[in-house]
Amino acid sequence: MLDVYHVSEHLHACGRGLHGEQTPAARAWADGKLPALLAMGPISFLAALAREKHAQRKVGPRRAIQALIDYLRPNVDGLWYARRLAWGLPIGSGLVEGACKNVLGRRLKCNSARWLPQRAEDVAALC
Please indicate, yes or no, whether residues 62 and 100 belong to a single structural domain of this protein: no
Q: How many other CB atoms are there within 10 angstroms of residue 85's CB atom?
A: 13
DSSP letter (8 states) at residue 102: I
- Domain of residue 100: give its range: 94-126
Please indicate, yes or no, whether residues 25 and 72 belong to a single structural domain of this protein: yes
pTM for this entry: 0.76
Please indicate, yes or no, whether residues 21 and 69 belong to a single structural domain of this protein: yes
**77, burial (CB in 10 Å: exposed 0-12, middle 13-18, buried 19+):** exposed
Please indicate, yes or no, whether residues 114 and 80 belong to a single structural domain of this protein: no
pLDDT tens across the length of the chain (127 residues): 888 999 999 999 999 999 999 999 999 999 999 999 999 999 999 999 999 999 999 999 999 999 999 999 999 999 999 999 999 988 887 777 777 778 788 878 888 778 888 888 887 777 6
Please indicate, yes or no, whether residues 102 and 80 belong to a single structural domain of this protein: no
